[in-house]
Structures are given as C-alpha cells and as structure tokens.
Amino acid sequence: MSDQTPGGSAYQPFVPESMSMKELTLRAVIPGLFMCLILGAANAYLGLRAGQTIAATYPAAVISMVILRFRKGSILEENIARTAGSIGESVAAGAIFTLPAFVIAGVWPSFGPKDAYWKSTALMLVGGVLGVLFCSLIRRVMVEDRTLPFPESVAASQIHKAGQRGAEAAKYLFYNMLFGAVVFFTGASSLFAADKPFVIKLGELGLSKVKLGATAASPAVSAGGITRISAPTVSPAYLGVGYIIGPELAALSFSGGVLAWGLMVPLLVFLMGPNLQSLLPSGADAVAWGGMTTKVWLFIVRPIAVGGMLVGTVYTLYRRRESIFGGLGRALHELRAKPADLMKVGRTERYMSSKTVFTLIGVMFVLMAALYVYMTHLVIGSLLAAVVMIIAGFFFATVSGYLVGLIGSSNNPISGLTLSTLIIAALLMVAMGVSGQSGVAAVLGVAAVVCVSSAVAGELLQDFKVGWILGGTPRSIQIVELVAVIAASLLMYFPLMVLHEGNIKMGGIGFGDARLPAPQAGLMAALASGIVGGDMPWALIIIGVLLGFAMILLRVKSPMLVAVGMYLPLETTSAIFVGGCIRWLMDRMADKRGFNAAQRTRAENVGILAASGLIAGEALTGLVTATFAWLEKPLPVIFQSPSYLAGLAVMALIAFILIRVPLANAGAADEPAPPAAIM
C-alpha cells in the first residue's frame, strides 16, 4: 500500500497531524446524514428484493466531494460526510436481514407502527451504538496493522485525494439515477411489461406414468402437471447488481435459480401432479397451477435451500477461521493494554476513552435486557439472551472488522455471522426449556442486535482506516458515526414499513412475498421457529445440507450464493445474471480494444458508478411507488396489456449504456491510472 512508509517507520497521513483543518462541521454532517438515510433506504429496498446490498462508501465519497467542493470544504470534511453517508447501508443491512423475521415467524402481529416501530428502532439503535463501541475497543490494533490491506478503505481515500476527478465522475452516478428512476416508474405504469411468466406442460396430467421397473408388468405411478417459469425481470437495479458483482458471482446466484426452477420444481410437480390437482378446483387453469407451483417452491424447495445456506455459512466461517481467531486474539490483546493518555497524544490518536466506551456498553446492556423482557415477558431467558448478545456481539464485531480489513465491507459475511449467533441463542433457549413465540422473540432479538452491531462495526473500522490514511481525528469519526447511527435507527423502519405495507396493498403478503422475498430474514425466521418450536421440516433441511456438502465436494466457489439463488425468485436471479453478462461483454470489448491497466480502471470506475446510479434510481423510485400503494393512490396505467418485447428493448438500452459509456470514457493510453473503485 503506497500510503505506508517502508521499514516500519512512523506513518505520515495525507493531512499532517500538526495541521489545523476544519473537520466536524455542520456543512459536513448534514449532507452526510442525508446520504445516510437515502443510501440506507435504497439498500433496504435492494436487500429485501434481491437479498444483497451494495457498499455505499464509493457513491458517498463522490457525492460528498461534489457538495463540499462546491462549498469549499476541506478533505477532512469530505471524509466526515462520507463516513456518515456510508453507515446507513450497514444499519439497513442489519435491519433487513433480521427485522422482517419477526413478522415472518409470527412473533409480531403486523409491521405497523403500533406493533413494530419502537421495537425495531430500539433493536437497531442498541445494535448500531454497540457496533460503534465494540469497534472503538479494537480500533488501534486493527487500523495500524499493516498486514491488513483494507482494500475499500484505500480506494475511498484515493478517491478523496483524486480531487476534481472524483467530482467530475459524479455525473455518471446522477444521470443514471435519473434514467433508472424513469425506467422503473414507466414499467410500474405499464408502459412495458417488466415480467413474463411462461407456462410449461409436464407430460399429460393423469395419463403420464413413471414405471418402477423394466418390464411391461412393472408397477407405475401417475404423473404429469403444469409448471411455470419466469423470464428475467426488466429491472435497472438487478442489472446493476449483476454488473457490479461480475459474471462469475452472478452465474453462481443464477445457478441456484436453475437448480430450483429448472430441476426441483418441475420434478416435484411432474411426480406430484395428480395429488396437486386434487387440491385445486375442478377445471383449474394455468393461473391456478402457477399458484400451486409457487407453493411447491415456497414450502418444499425453499427449506432445501435453507439447509444449503446452513452448510454455506459453516463452510464460509471455516474457510476464514484463521482470520476469525486472529481478530479475536488481537481484540483481547488490545483490551489488556493500558488506556492511552489522551492529553499526551496527537490529534490523529484522539479517540473516546475506554472508560466512556465501557460505561456506554453497560448502559446498552441494561437497555437491551429491559427490551428483551418487554418483548418476551421472560426474565431469566431475557437476561441470558442479553448476555449472549453482549458476548457474541463483541466477538463477531471483532471478526467483522478483521474480515473488512482483509476483503472489504462488500464481502463481509454478516448474515453468516448472525446465523451462528442465532443457532447458539436458540439452542440455549431450548436447553433452558423456553419454547413458543417468547423463545423465538428472544432468539431473533439477539440476532437482530448482533447483526446490526457486526455490520456497523465492520463499516466503522473501514472508515477509521480511511481517516488514518487521510489524517482524520478518530474521535470526530466516532461522534459522527454515533449521530448517523441514531438518525438511521430512528428512520430506517419507515422504508421497510412502506415496502411491506405497499406489497400487501398490491395483493402480496409483505415480507416473504415473491416480490419482497427478504431471503436472509426468511432463513432467520425458519431457523428460530424450527429450533425453538420443534416444527422444522428436518427431512428437507437435511436434503439441503447434503446438497451443500455436495457443492463443497465439487469445489463450488460459494455454496452459500448458490443456496441464496435457490431461495430467490428466478426472475430476480436471471436478471442479475443478465447484468453479469453485460459486464462480461464490456470486459471482452475492452480486451479487443487493447486497453491498458489505466484505461481498464477508468472504464471500470465509470461502469460501477453508472450501475450504482441505476440501483439507486430504481430503489428510490420503488420507495415512491410503494408509498403510492400504501396510500392507496394507484399509478397511471399507460397500456392495459403491456408488451414484454418492449421491456426487452428497454433492457437492451440499459445494456448499451453499461457497455458504451464506460468504453467511451476509458481515456487515452498515456493518461495516468485513477484509483480503482473497489465495491
């Protein structure tokens, strides 16, 4: 890393320690809080629909530069604004991975403000504040460890250093935000059809047979049925996600959809067809069969996917075991060290005292225990849950921070860490004899706090590293993170509520619906209810476990991603795959044009900004359309029978933009290389 001096000599930040420069100001904090809420809401939308979030650090860095350079702000003010703006994505990730589970599991009767607002806010607030505090305990040992590359921190710091180049790049983000918003809104207004289901007959219902032997006299079972398969949805956000994660990861996700909808669902419908027909009204048409096919996927294939995700979680943690134990060891060593004398240290080493941090952790523990008692009406069980939360929360926040130092926050397996906590808490509840909805509520409460705290801790450590490179004051970063976490926690409930209620108003079931699948939250709900309540479909789970084990034997790069692809609707994973293919085409065309490394980096930066704009544009417009549905204000209907072919034309236009614009802005071969946009 070029920012580090060789030979272990004292590090010199970009802004010298002795230099006095404006940093924690209102003109930096207010835009940062605005970005925090907007990017957090956009990621909440994307995560509930696609099961993935996109790192907000890079867009927040670009936007903060545009705003503050216009107002003649300093580079440290830009860093404060970016720090506040990026933390909303972490709060949103923790929220969408866990809060819908309370509704899916039936713990909360609804997600309305009366039943869910204060509980959701308290869980996010305690988890977010604890994430900041836990990270503060390990900040120095992690940030100053030069064996940790912190790839996304380096990229963000280089963007700030790049100055005007980053401000000019903002146009690619904003133009495509507008384009993504227009595409999504016109699709929602029926200018074109965004989705297209296809009905497929599987044999002849009642006439097809499967012989259980080789002779003519062998017994046979009746088979045949009607299934449904969906074309890729015309979605700027999904195409943008596929473009950013690239063809390899997009293909892994899509392979799960192919397993689910190309193998398991057709096979089950073909063999169970006569039995399924008995559950349908006489003369049922293709629409009725489509609904039955969806139920087969929801209640048979999805539990198999849950088993696969369990194996994927364990396998992911096993592969990173050295990083995990290394992070825990470093954290314990830092806790045993003597607290720094804040009066003697320089500006770049000033941070909250350990006494303040531990006092606030104690306050959060008491508040969390009280909340658990209120939610579950159990005293001993709630105290145990709070103890598990505080211990697991610290350890997994440490692990999260260490993994961010290795691979960046975009690749941080937050849901995997949370699943481990959930299983531990659930088994402890069962051992204590706690059952029913109270036990499920306690388990999900632990998972929610740990999930938010781990996500926030990882993002904060990444921000600490950026501040270390640029010469920021750690205490200023801690303060703005606490303010941003509180603001995000108070308001993040509303995007989730609007999406949930809007889906119901449009004929769905809210969280868990095909249009709002919330895959991680569904997995959390299934595990908590299954372990505590004893009604888990274990046979299907075991099949999924064996499937995951088989993927490990086949050396599949990410069994977890394949299992998540099985859990998501096919129209979602196929659209993400199309986005990955668009990225592949852009890369191949760059090869044919003979781009050097600098040109490739410029093209990649522009492409990622354009894709991020498409994601943000659809996400924000999706919140608007969901609000219209929630208010029972119908959108205009342009065509009664919109065409999917027109939708494919729109998809082709998006592909053209994501290929043509990056290639056209790759620059000359002799221009110096810009910083890479690591997402």
pTM: 0.73
Q: What is the DSSP string of 78-134?
A: HHHHHHHHHHHHHHHHHHHHHHHHHHHTTSSS--SIIIIIHHHHHHHHHHHHHHHHH
Q: What is the mean pLDDT of residues 397-425?
A: 65
Q: What is the mean pLDDT of residues 322-344?
A: 56
Distance of CA 9 to the CA centre of its chain: 38
**228 - beta bridge partners?**
199
As a whole number of angstroms, the distance between CA 466 and CA 604 comes to: 22
Given this model, what pLDDT does residue 53 score? 67
Q: Which of 285-294, 364-373, 467-476 has the lowest mean pLDDT?
A: 285-294
The two structure tokens encoding residue 526 = 């299934």
Given this model, what pLDDT does residue 245 score? 77
Residue keyed to tokens 């082709």: 652
For 371-440, the three-class secondary structure string (H helix, E strand, C coil) is HHHHHHCCCHHHHHHHHHHHHHHHHHHHHHHHHHHHHCHHHCCHHHHHHHHHHHHHHHHHHCCCCHHHHH
Q: What is the DSSP string of 487-545?
A: HHHHHTHHHHHHHHHHHHHTTS-STTBTTB--HHHHHHHHHHHHHHHS---HHHHHHHH
Given this model, what pLDDT does residue 630 score? 64
Query: Which carries the bigger pLDDT value, residue 345 or residue 289?
Result: 289
Q: Is the pLDDT of residue 654 over 90?
A: yes
Given this model, what pLDDT does residue 164 score? 45
Distance of CA 533 to the CA centre of its chain: 28
Given this model, what pLDDT does residue 192 score? 93
Given this model, what pLDDT does residue 475 score? 84
The answer to whether 416 and 313 are in contact (CB under 8 A) is yes
pLDDT tens track for 60-71: 777 887 788 777
Q: How many helices (H) and strands (E) does the chain have?
A: 23, 4
Query: Which carries the bigger pLDDT value, residue 492 or residue 396?
Result: 492
Long-range contacts of 106-112 (CB under 8 A, 24+ apart): 106/437, 106/529, 107/437, 107/440, 107/441, 107/444, 111/496, 111/497, 111/500, 111/501, 111/510, 111/511, 112/497, 112/501
The pLDDT > 70 percentage for the chain reads 82
Q: How would residue 524 be classed by pLDDT, with cut points 50, 70 and 90? A: confident
Q: Which of 269-278, 398-407, 548-557 has the lowest mean pLDDT?
A: 398-407
pLDDT tens track for 6-60: 334 456 777 777 777 788 889 889 999 998 888 888 778 777 876 666 667 767 7
The answer to whether 243 and 579 are in contact (CB under 8 A) is yes
**513 - beta bridge partners?**
516
As a whole number of angstroms, the distance between CA 328 and CA 507 comes to: 47
Query: Which carries the bigger pLDDT value, residue 403 or residue 446?
Result: 446
- Is residue 592 classed exposed, middle or buried when 0-12, 13-18 and 19+ CB atoms within 10 A define those classes? exposed
Q: How would residue 265 be classed by pLDDT, with cut points 50, 70 and 90? A: very high
Given this model, what pLDDT does residue 409 score? 60
Given this model, what pLDDT does residue 179 score? 93
Given this model, what pLDDT does residue 48 score? 80
The answer to whether 451 and 94 are in contact (CB under 8 A) is yes
The two structure tokens encoding residue 56 = 């907000």
Q: How would residue 642 be classed by pLDDT, with cut points 50, 70 and 90? A: very high
pLDDT tens track for 124-170: 998 899 888 888 777 766 777 666 667 566 666 766 665 545 556 66
The two structure tokens encoding residue 468 = 């270390």
Domain spans in the chain, listed from the N-terminal domain onward: 21-169+257-571
Closest CA to 615 of 187, 184, 253, 190: 184
Q: Is the pLDDT of residue 677 over 90?
A: no
Given this model, what pLDDT does residue 3 score? 42
Given this model, what pLDDT does residue 412 score? 57
